[in-house]
Amino acid sequence: MTKLSDAFAQFDAYNQKDPNTFTWEKIAYPQEYFLALKLYDWVNKLDTNASEELLLASRSQHIGRWEIPRDTYPVGREAYLKWRKDLAQYHAEKASDVMETVGYSPEQIARAKQIILKQKIKVDHDVQTMENALCLVFLQFQYEDFYPKYEPDKVINILKKSLLKMDAHGHQFALRLPYSETGLHYIQEALKLIS
């Protein structure tokens, strides 16, 4: 096995332990395992010459996410942001441990961590590709189940924030995805707010 395939195998095995399930087309998967595979697929679609570090980061972006549940932090926006920051650091460390085990250099590990932590978004191509891919995974696989749970204004505001994190390249792919009539309407409303 190459270092890359060895790391992927370890990331996938770890994410397959996720007790939460994600059902897609009537098949249930460990949630973070399924989403990691789809994130990796999107990174490859967005950048056919993706760097090895970006591919590694895509497969481990949310590794072990279920181990730090949101409800272990207080309610409120400040606590939510702290949870997100702590999670990102946790994922970066988990990914680093695997990469070190399979023989990646400190420089490669540092680069993958930088992508996982989404440092220099908008100016770093790999980090921006990751952000586009994360938003596209949400839009393709989670959005239609997500938006009916919230008021339209909240949905449009969340979409606006997501779309602002993306660039024009990511938007092109987002607009080609199949949506319900209502789902598409909310996206169009959010796009009006950022155009």
Q: What is the mean pLDDT of residues 53-78?
A: 96
Q: pLDDT tens across 23-61, in order? A: 999 999 999 999 999 999 999 999 999 999 999 999 999
Q: Which two tokens stand for residue 168?
A: 């024009």
For all residues of the chain together, what is the average pLDDT? 95
Report d(CA 142, CA 47) in Å as an integer: 22
Q: What is the mean pLDDT of residues 5-32?
A: 97
Distances in Å between the alpha carbon of 47 and those of 54, 125, 162, 185? 10, 10, 20, 28
Helices (H) and strands (E) in the chain, counts: 10, 2
Going by their DSSP bridges, the two strands 21-24 and 27-30 should be labelled as antiparallel
Contacts of 83 (CB under 8 A, 6+ apart): 68, 70, 72, 73
Output the CA torsion 162→165→168→173 (10° steps): -40
The pTM score is 0.94
Pick from 49, 9, 54, 16: nearest CA to 35: 16
For residues 22 and 36, the answer to whether their CB atoms sit within 8 Å is: no
